[in-house]
A and B are shown apart, each in its own frame.
Chain A
């Protein structure tokens, strides 16, 4: 071992090399310090945010959507707990494996799933599937530890207690779309991705009242996504409750009575315009929409030739048929085109130019005045009134009855129908009005188009003595917040949109005719008759195509369904102080309106609390004789 001290020169050289090495080391540490300064001081704030994102997780606490009740407090739409599946990208183990499992288990498209996961912020829970079924819940609970970052959360979800029976009134909720979100971001910022919002019906119109306010829970999580502790909790605010003017009993009865017949039933309270029942058939089950409709069901609904998504009561536009005679009658009286006493002759047909216009009754009605013309719905009588009035005068009165424009009911996508005038025809079709066309117009055929709710509003105004109320469905909005008895926030109130252009005495004369429709011998609406209550009404048939020369010769069954006639029946009761007005529409029924009068009778009886069975028997007894022979030929 060499214990000698090394020589001076040797040491100096050695020291120089060591010093260089030492400086190199210092340089390395200076670089490290510089980098630390860069990371901690310059970019500290950005990294602080990243670490907060790592640590803090916000979970939305979905608000409970307000309940929807009928006028008597019967619950129509409520909420139930559903388990939803979320994915937090940051916590995912193997992205590919997760996508594979989810797409297979939940039947989701991989590309869609990948986009959804990859475009969201890494720490934000992304809703993948709403309302898992029990087997899927069991599956994901079981594989909880194999699928980190996949979470199940409870959310109150909409439940429609009576499914299709109220579909077109209530509408449905569904997940907010990208488009709606984009719009919302520019405006009020009410929605977050994955929110359920009203898509149509009452759910859409009163979404703001119903939705409440989402709360959130902020918590600290560890690297495995497990909650370590809660930090903050802002509870959600439940939505307000909605009480509708709908009478659930009546609604259900109307839907049941209409059965599989496509069509609509609207019942109004003529004293204020409250909608007591609004049925459109066929319908769909709104519950299907809540948890996300599968593309196949959606396609089936959209392509269904019967179009169950259409709310016929508001969106279906059909010729009004003989219900229109009410308007023509008023017009003729007001314009003094006829007196109540003047009788016109009906031989069963009417010749104009080189055409012959038939009456629904082959042999004709003979001589009749306005009252009997209404009750027996004589076509020839009204052909002549039409000739005397002209199309524009009729149109003026039709508009006075609220036709040709939407009623303005607070439900989405209402149509306005069409009341033709000479100017309209010139403008739209570029043709002059032919006087022969007025003949069709006079009995509610031709270009005329109305919606069932317009018909209901119209008959309701006739019932109440001439006031046109805008139909409405909202009875009141209440809040359960803070107060023991629910606090009423808002009350639906009647809105008068106009008055019928009719002198009281003229309106009274027409009302007499409508009373006879149901109650007089040979009245076309005799099937609506009740024993204890005086019902008034009007039948109607709208021709879908003109079948010549005499369509009545053909049995309905021989005509293809899409060419069969529509049927109408409008009614109100009790005659002196009406509390209900109904309009019934049956699409392509191929039958006369009188065939649907029993629906009105049942609804009225139910509404007034009269025993319908007794009344029915009574009606049968009274109708013995000539009417029984007529039943087969569908009186117009």
Chain B
């Protein structure tokens, strides 16, 4: 258990920005779903508030239990995550052609959200235990790669390509920071390039068309490009200062699809304009910068790598989501951390930040 003497080490800034984003998210969800008085999603923001409460509990748990203690059980946690991913594929019924959810006590959870954290834990634990943070060769990467590939494949199978790619990026990010020998790095780059066509073959039709739409926007504004186009219209029409809070016509009149989940950034941008979207991005950047310093200030390898993995997860998810809404990344189902409606995403991200602050909290403790 951590030392309460070190309360001044608690990262109030990160905590407050996190809460600010979550609160902003609830407000935006309210705005996006209240366009029509009796709409089916009208009460969604209260549910998000409930999730926020759960998230806070998860945050506290992750914060208070010493991360070294958690690290001890990294593989156990990882195992549970893989098992839950297996369970999704075997027992859960497909929803809109995909198996992503698992019913747990009347709540639907998305195991892939937690699998990401479990992987970070497992990889951080592995790298920290194995050797010093010195460049690795190909053979050294075999085990962590195996740790990554299992959840990756299980998530690809769902299919949820966006999340699967984030799993990959976590591995790559951590491996790069731990260090990779030059020739191994070049070899891996070549491998990735060679794998791209293979990836194309594995992709579903709708996924391919989304990539194509990104390359050639407006090619099919009513079909594959519809989400992209409406999102661009929403964001662009916000202009410099936005249409005003609760005044977003694109989102409130349903033109913007998935407005309270994956495209919530569009709602903020439409209603608060360039001013609001920039502010939002700066808040995310602040969290990322803070996370990076946490990783650098961590007192040991496990802490550093844990913090780093969480920062990678957080930045990639954020960038991919925003990039998708403004048409520079393909449309994939990735939520905007802390903002998008969704229990699994919010609770898991708050848990991750609990771990992050845990690392920072205990940087001086012995």
Indicate which residue in B178, B239, B253, B292 contacts A48 across the interface (CB closer than 8 Å). B239
Complex alpha-carbon distance, A10 and B177, angstroms: 11
Say yes or no: A22 contacts B289, CB within 8 Å: yes
Beta-carbon contact of A44 and B240 below 8 Å: yes
B interface SS class: helix
**Interface residue A5 (Cβ < 8 Å from any Cβ of B):** yes
Contact A32 to B323, CB < 8 A, known contacts A2-B301, A43-B236: yes
**A46 an interface residue at 8 Å Cβ cutoff?**
yes
Kindly list chain B residues whose C-beta atoms are within 8 Å of the C-beta of A36: 235, 269, 274, 277-278, 281, 326
* Cβ distance A19 to chain B, nearest Cβ, rounded Å: 8
A367 CB-CB contact with B under 8 Å: no
Judge if A29 is at the interface, Cβ distance under 8 Å. Answer: yes
- In the complex, chain B residues 278-298 whose Cβ is within 8 Å of any chain A Cβ: 278, 281, 284-285, 288-289, 292, 295-296
Question: Per-position contact with A for B138-179: 1 when CB-CB < 8 Å, else 0?
Answer: 000000000000000000000000000000000001001111
Question: Is the pair B281, A44 in contact by a Cβ cutoff of 8 Å?
Answer: no
Q: Is B133 an interface residue (CB 8 A)?
A: yes
B338: shortest Cβ distance to chain A, in Å?
A: 16
Whole-angstrom CA separation of A25 from B176 in the bound complex = 14
Q: Tell me if B255 and A39 are in contact (CB < 8 A).
A: no
B129 near A2 with CB under 8 A, answer: yes
Is B319 interfacial (CB-CB < 8 Å)? yes
CA separation between A286 and B289, bound complex, in Å? 79
The minimal Cβ–Cβ distance linking B222 to chain A, given in whole angstroms, is 8
A44 near B176 with CB under 8 A, answer no
Q: Give residues of chain B (215-248) contacting chain A, Cβ–Cβ below 8 Å.
A: 222, 230, 232-240
**For the complex, what is the distance from the CA of A76 to the CA of B249, rounded to whole Å?**
49
Residue B55 CB within 8 A of the other chain: no
What chain B residues lie within 8 Å of A55 (beta carbons)?
Answer: 249-250, 253, 255
User: Roughly how many angstroms separate A35 CA and B217 CA in the complex, as a whole number?
Assistant: 15
- B134 contacts the other chain (CB 8 A): yes
Give every chain B residue within 8 A of A3 (Cβ-Cβ): 68, 300
Measured CA separation A28–B169 after assembly (Å): 14
Q: Indicate whether A220 sits within 8 Å of B253 (C-beta atoms), given known contacts A39-B232, A40-B269.
A: yes
Contact with B along A45-59 (1 / 0, CB 8 A): 111101110110000
For the complex formed, measure the closest distance between the CB of B189 and the CB atoms of chain A, giving whole angstroms.
Answer: 15
Please tell me if the beta carbons of A2 and B253 are within 8 angstroms of each other in the complex: no
Asked if B336 lies at the interface with its beta carbon under 8 angstroms from chain A, I say no
In the bound complex, residues from chain B placing their C-beta under 8 Å from that of A558 are: none
Confirm or deny: A354 has a beta carbon within 8 angstroms of a beta carbon on chain B.
Answer: no
Most buried by A among B71, B237, B277, B284: B237
Specify which chain A residues have a CB less than 8 angstroms from the CB of B72 in the assembled complex.
1
The interface residues of chain A lying within 8 Å CB-to-CB of B117 are none
Q: Which residues of A contact B238 (CB under 8 A)?
A: 40, 44
Query: Does A223 lie within 8 Å of B254, measured CB to CB?
Result: yes
User: Is A298 close to B, CB under 8 A?
Assistant: no
B71 to chain A, nearest CB (A): 6
A7 near B: Cβ within 8 Å? yes
Kindly state whether residue B128 has any CB partner on chain A within 8 Å.
yes
The answer for the CA separation of A76 and B72 in the assembled complex, in Å, is: 96
* Residue in B71, B133, B253 whose CB lies within 8 Å of A10: B133
On chain B, the residues within 8 Å of A44 by CB distance are 236-240, 273-274
Q: What chain B residues lie within 8 Å of A41 (beta carbons)?
A: 239-240, 274
Contacts of B300 in A (CB 8 A): 2-6
Report which of B239, B249, B301 forms a contact with A6, defined as CB distance below 8 A. B301
A145 within 8 A of B: no
Closest beta carbon of chain A to B255's beta carbon, Å: 5
Partner of A32, one of B236, B237, B319: B319
Give the contacting residue for B319; candidates A15, A19, A29; CB below 8 A: A29
Interchain CB contact under 8 A, B274 and A40: yes
A221 within 8 A of B: yes
Q: How far is the CA of A51 from the CA of B267 in the complex (A)?
A: 13
A interface, by DSSP: helix, strand, loop or mixed? helix
Q: Across the interface, which residues of B come within 8 angstroms of A25, CB to CB?
A: 288, 315, 319
Report if B42 contacts A (CB, 8 A): no
CB–CB B254/A222 < 8 A? yes
Known contacts A4-B300, A32-B328, A41-B239; A26/B255 CB under 8 A: no
Q: Does B322 contact A (CB under 8 A)?
A: yes
A228 interface residue per 8 A CB criterion: yes
Inter-chain contacts of A220 with B (CB < 8 A): 249, 253
* A274: min CB distance to chain B, Å: 59
A window 1-21: CB within 8 A of B: 1-7, 10-11, 13-15, 17-19, 21
B331 at interface by CB-CB < 8 Å:
no
Chain A, Cβ-Cβ closest to B270: A51
Known contacts A1-B72, A28-B319; A39/B236 CB under 8 A = yes
A31 contacts the other chain (CB 8 A) = yes
With an 8 A cutoff between CB atoms, is A33 at the interface?
yes
Q: Does B118 contact A (CB under 8 A)?
A: no
Q: Decide: A54 and B278 in contact? CB cutoff 8 A.
A: no
User: Is A37 in contact with chain B by the CB < 8 A criterion?
Assistant: yes
Asked whether any CB of chain B lies closer than 8 Å to the CB of A224, the reply is yes
Closest residue of B by beta carbon distance from A43 = B236
Q: A18 near B296 (CB under 8 angstroms)? A: yes
Interfacial chain A residues near B328, Cβ < 8 Å: 31-32, 35
CB neighbours (8 Å) of A223 from chain B are: 253-255
Nearest chain B CB to A8 CB, angstrom units = 12
Is the pair A17, B177 in contact by a Cβ cutoff of 8 Å?
A: yes
B361 interface residue (CB < 8 Å to A):
no
Query: Of A7, A33, A54, which contacts B233 at CB under 8 A?
Result: A54
Assembled-state Cα–Cα distance A39/B274 (Å): 9
Nearest B residue (CB) for A95: B222
Known contacts A2-B302, A36-B235; A7/B132 CB under 8 A: yes
B264 at the interface (CB under 8 A from A): no
B308 interfacial by beta-carbon distance below 8 Å: yes
CB within 8 Å for A29 and B301 given contacts A3-B68, A44-B239, A222-B35: no
Chain A residues positioned under 8 Å from B232 (CB to CB): 39, 47
- Residue in B239, B250, B296, B312 whose CB lies within 8 Å of A54: B250
- Chain B contacts for A228, CB-based, 8 A: 35-36, 253
How many angstroms from the CA of A32 to the CA of B274 in the assembled complex? 12
CB-CB contacts below 8 Å: A115-151 with B: none
Please indicate the chain A residues that have their CB under 8 angstroms from the CB of B240 in the complex.
40-41, 44
| Closest CB in chain B relative to A366 CB, distance in Å | 91
Q: Are A222 and B36 in contact (CB under 8 A)?
A: yes
Cβ–Cβ < 8 Å partners of A17 in chain B = 176-177, 179
The distance in angstroms between the C-alpha atoms of A44 and B233, with both chains bound, is: 9
Shortest distance from the beta carbon of B42 to any chain A beta carbon, whole Å:
14
- Report the Cα distance A434→B214, complex, angstroms: 87
Interface centre among A10, A44, A221, A228 (most CB of B within 10 A): A44
Cβ of B269 and Cβ of A14 under 8 Å apart?
A: no
Q: In the assembled complex, which residues on chain B have CB atoms less than 8 Å from the CB atom of A26?
A: 285
Q: Residue on B with the closest CB to A39?
A: B236
For A39, the chain B residues whose CB sits under 8 A away are 232, 235-236, 326-327
Which residues from chain B contact A6 at a C-beta distance below 8 Å?
132-133, 300-301
Nearest neighbor of B307 in chain A, beta-carbon distance: A18
B304 contacts chain A at the CB level, 8 A cutoff? yes
- A31 CA to B230 CA in the complex, in Å? 21
Interface residues of A, Cβ cutoff 8 Å to B: 1-7, 10-11, 13-15, 17-19, 21-22, 25-26, 28-29, 31-33, 35-37, 39-41, 43-48, 50-52, 54-55, 95, 220-224, 228
Given contacts A22-B288, A36-B235, A39-B236, could you give 20 more A-B pairs where the C-beta distance is less than 8 Å? A5-B299, A6-B132, A21-B312, A29-B284, A33-B278, A35-B326, A35-B327, A36-B269, A36-B278, A41-B239, A41-B240, A47-B233, A47-B236, A50-B236, A50-B237, A51-B236, A51-B249, A221-B253, A222-B35, A223-B255
24 A-B pairs within 8 Å (CB atoms) are namely A2-B128, A5-B299, A6-B300, A14-B179, A17-B176, A17-B177, A21-B176, A22-B292, A29-B285, A29-B319, A31-B328, A32-B281, A36-B235, A36-B277, A39-B232, A40-B239, A40-B269, A50-B237, A51-B233, A52-B249, A54-B233, A55-B253, A223-B253, A228-B35
Closest 4 CB pairs of A and B: A47-B236, A44-B239, A51-B237, A223-B254
